[in-house]
Chain A
Amino acid sequence: MLRFIVKRIGLSVLTLVIVSLIVFLMTSIMPGDIAKQILGRDATPEAFEIWNKEKGFDKPLVVQYGRWMGGVLTGDLGTSLQYEMPVSEILAPAASKSAQLAIVALLLIAPISILGGIAAAMNRGKKVDRALTVGGLSAAVIPEFVWAVVLILVFGVAIRAFPVSAFPDEENPNLVSSVYHLILPSIALLFVLFGYISRITRAGVIEALDSDYMRTAVLKGLSRKTAVFKHVLRNALLPTIAVIATQVPYLAGGLIAIERVFNYPGFGNILLDAVIARDFPLLQTAVFLTGVVIIVFQLIADILFAVLNPRIRQKVTE
């Protein structure tokens, strides 16, 4: 098991190195001259040169990459060109905001989608199943920001049940208020992810329902309900857990549209700003960190899956 984990971590690190290279190269060749924007159109060529030198943009790319990575590893994430502030000071609060949104959304989405999937599987082919399937799929084809706007118009403006902004106005909002503000965006995300997660759950549950061991359980004399509870769910939810874990980075790593619509100062908002401002120290690091989140959660998903499944667990222990 340990060997498996070490191997997986090694692979993840390798992936991260590749990601960092790609991110770095992409932001370096991004069109538009940041210096022009910051120094103004009328600045002299000398001024540009001095500025570039000061920021180190005249050095070869390899050196720039080395400096950036060195910084990331030692905790120095560089300085934003746009705000003239350490990147870490900009990203930290945003990341915490994004994490809050992700957690609330996940706590809403995971149980509802899983229950939906189980309900569909247990009523396979019946009306409930069809309604859940069709409903889930149709909801998913509509982009999250459209849902966001619809939800705001209905619950924020017309009914006034929820605030239109995801971010409390108060100075020091308490937990209840923060969560309350995050419910509407979470529902928008639920609409997008429900179809997907419940489909996966449904497939897993149906496979387990049709399995020989389920037949054994029923023929032992367990009631169908108990048999489902004891024998089906554990096996059926394995793939679902992995799927949900892979959705976490999507939730945590910058829901640009949702954050915009709900006026929420999360990671996505910062990212968008950085692109528009060609603020590449900030952009590089923000995109790279998103990559880190994705890879770490994929890793967690894999390890979780292996721990929960004795067959894989044994294979990897041998």
Chain B
Amino acid sequence: MTTTPTLELRNLEVAYTVRGIDRQVLRGVSFSIAPGEAYGLVGESGCGKSTAAFAAMRYLPRNGKITKGSILFEGKDIVDINDDEVAKLRRSAISMVYQNPATALNPTIRVGKQIAEVFELNGVSSSDAMMMAEQALTKVQIADPARVLRRYAHQLSGGMAQRVVIAMALASNPRLLVMDEPTTGLDATVEAEVLDLVRELRRDTGTAVLFISHNLGVIRNMCDRVGVLYAGALVEQGATSELFSSPSHPYTVGLLRCIPRGGLHKSTDRLDTIPGTPPALGTNFDGCVFAARCSLADDKCRTALPEMVTIIGSHVARCFHSDKAGSMPRSIEQIEYAPQSTGHKAQVGDTLLNISHLSKVFNQDGSKVRVINDVSLTLGFGETLGLVGESGSGKTTIAKLVLGLTPPEEGGVVTLDGKGLAKTLSHRDVADVGAMQIVFQNPDQALNRRHSVTRIVSRAVERLRKFSLTAAIARAQELLSGMRVDASLHSVRPVQLSGGLKQRVAIARAFAGAPQIVVCDEPTSALDVSVQAAILNLLVDLQKKDQTSFIFISHDLGVVRYISDKIAVLYLGRVVEFGTSQRVFSGPFHPYTEALLSSVPNIDGSTRKRIPLTGVVPSPSNPPSGCVLNPRCPRKAGSGYETLCETEEPNLTEVEPGHFMRCHVPVAKLKQLQN
């Protein structure tokens, strides 16, 4: 005899009506969540995770409807209950937290009132409700809750806003909490804090949680059980550690293999990809939903629907060949790319780019703010320099200074291959401009939507290499094919392409001028892991063939570690650590790097102690005196250097050959503290 689950989906089918036709999104999804349990739902974008979550809240979009199946909340079917009953359920039993906390709060109402509203709905008087709102904020560990109550949403940082939203969700003492990507878009350190909070609250309240994320590391660390969704069908389910250690559906195996996990590096490991793309909304299947992309697919897979089979205990997978999934062949994609004809003669590792003493002062609201402070770095031929740091640490500004999109302050010099570059783009000659290019996070904004794909690339070839029109078009097509953009897509406009393909076009354009350096600013952050893996592979291949160097910016430390040869860790516009990827990731660490690394949820399930950074990132307009990290530094206390930390800013010094740190505490001592 088992207890009644808090939430149970039975054979749930949901369809969206698009242009008058019902298109199926969820295909017979069944799972249940016991009281106090955390159930994770993973899968690529568009596979139906949010749809399942909103269905459970009985909050489908206007064109969405439940066509079959049932949703049981504590044993009672809530598919057909009326609006009043739904509202009552939301007031008292089910709450939801989702992505983008900043927009989830009403911009014109003080947050205190928004939290108090939940209590008032449950019949509390308005003065009591405000008191309870303050308690609710205390519960989510916000500093100075009384003051936060009086703020508006835009006056909160992302992490604070998400705490407020969580406080609001918990205000009704829900028995089920639905969290849809609650930490996506937050900095790793903030994400770690929010996840810690959710874990603690769960321990205290025993609320059942439906936790949705595309980040497998987060799911692994947060959930007791996991379900994998693909094309709206649940393809695998099991206890978290069991499922992650022996995935038994080819899709799950593929997903896990795409991820640049701890320790993988481009020099030795090639990432797996999942070829093809997820099916379009409303596709009908005769057989397995994954057959079109599965390397194990045979005729049976394409004609018969696989049933869930038990792997071990409660671990189930919907696959005919689940026994072979774990050892399925790796997918190998190679590019056919003709190297640039410019022929660099240097050796890999010889210095290509030298930036010294770059600073940048911005005018913000009438006062001068130094956002970049005396940054000096070098980058060799064919190497990748990874820039990491919390948001606002100055990663993108450094990239802009190097590219000449904004001029550095007096004294800053950028040298490329021994030649000093003009401070701004308009003063650089065509060769220098072509030598450094950029790929952005969001290819939508970067590509001219009125031009065809070929035109976008050929224009850049014309401009940067002075090719004739026909030669430029030929080169553009060669580049695009090299980036594995199929010839049939060369004449379409960017809107018709998926995110991954758009990013390939953007990369092709960046390579149009035979660049020596390509700056990649979060190039894969908006992409699914399988697409990300393909893009990373592409970048690595291009680097090998052309000796192109990259400056690679990402908040995903796994990705940076995989692709970088050197890493610069930034804090408040300063380089706090610089060295080879190997060194920076294996320690001894700068205290900030240590905290940053420990905040990343680990996909292999190994638990390591999190080194928290207390407090928030200070504003660059008013940096702390002494070492800028000192108010938050996890290693200051007890190091014996406290006074120095608080009064004097440390210099960037070489602590080991090729490894630089900005810290008063000697590296030997840090090493000792970190073991």
Q: Are B155 and A221 in contact (CB under 8 A)?
A: no
Q: Chain B residues near A211 (CB, 8 Å)?
A: 103
**Chain A hits for B107, CB < 8 A:** 213, 235, 309-311
A234 contacts the other chain (CB 8 A): yes
Q: Is B91 an interface residue (CB 8 A)?
A: yes
- Contact call B155/A314, Cβ cutoff below 8 A: yes
Residues of A contacting B155 in the complex (Cβ-Cβ under 8 angstroms): 314
- Any A CB within 8 A of the CB of B109: yes
A235–B108 CA distance with the chains assembled, in angstroms: 7
Q: Which of B100, B117, B168 has the most CB of A within 10 A?
A: B117
Nearest-CB residue, chain B, relative to A309: B108
The answer to whether B121 touches A220 (Cβ under 8 A) is yes
Alpha-carbon separation in the docked complex, A217 to B89 (Å): 14
**Chain B residue nearest to A214 in the complex (CB):** B106
The listed residue (B100, B117, B152) touching A220 by CB distance below 8 A is B117
Contact B118 A220 (CB under 8 A): yes
A161 within 8 A of B: no
A314 touches B165 (CB 8 A): no
Within B253-267, the residues touching A (CB, 8 Å) are: none
* Neighbouring B residues of A221 by C-beta, 8 Å: 87-92, 118, 121, 172
Interface residues of B in 460-478 (CB under 8 A from A): none
Residues of A within 8 A of B83 (CB): 223-224
**Across the interface, do A212 and B104 meet the contact criterion of CB distance under 8 Å?**
yes
Q: Interface size (A, Cβ < 8 Å)?
A: 24
CB of A219 closer than 8 Å to a CB of B: yes
Does chain B have a CB within 8 A of A50? no
Q: How far is the CA of A238 from the CA of B96 in the complex (A)?
A: 28
Q: How far is the CB of A303 from chain B (nearest CB, A)?
A: 16
Chain B residues lying within 8 Å of A309, measured Cβ to Cβ, are: 107-108
User: Contacts of B105 on A, CB cut-off 8 Å?
Assistant: 213, 216
Report whether B100 and A212 are in contact in the complex, using a CB–CB cutoff of 8 Å.
yes
Decide yes or no whether B365 CB sits under 8 A from chain A.
Answer: yes
Query: Contact at B59–A215, with CB atoms within 8 Å?
Result: yes
The reply on A260 being an interface residue by CB < 8 A is: no
User: Interface readout for B87-123 with A: 1 if CB under 8 Å, 0 if not?
Assistant: 1111110011010100111111100001001100100
Q: Which of A295-318 contact B (CB under 8 A)?
A: 308-311, 314, 318
Q: Cα distance A170–B118 when bound, in Å? A: 59
In the complex, residue of chain B having the shortest beta-carbon distance to the beta carbon of A125: B62
A316 to chain B, nearest CB (A): 10
Beta-carbon contact of B104 and A213 below 8 Å: yes
**A110 CB → nearest B CB, Å:** 20
Question: For the complex, is A26 an interface residue (Cβ under 8 Å from B)?
Answer: no
How many whole Å from A209's CB to the nearest CB in chain B?
10
Rank and list the top 9 A-B pairs by shortest CB-CB distance, nearest first: A221-B91, A221-B90, A212-B103, A213-B106, A310-B152, A212-B104, A216-B104, A221-B87, A219-B96
- A residues near B (Cβ < 8 Å) are 211-213, 215-224, 230-231, 234-235, 238, 308-311, 314, 318
User: Can you pick out 16 interface pairs between chain A and chain B where the beta carbons lie within 8 Å of each other?
Assistant: A213-B104, A213-B105, A213-B106, A215-B104, A216-B105, A216-B106, A218-B59, A219-B57, A219-B90, A219-B95, A220-B91, A221-B89, A230-B117, A308-B108, A310-B152, A314-B154
Question: Footprint of A on B, CB under 8 Å?
Answer: 57, 59, 83-84, 87-92, 95-96, 98, 100, 103-109, 114, 117-118, 121, 152, 154-155, 165, 168, 172, 365
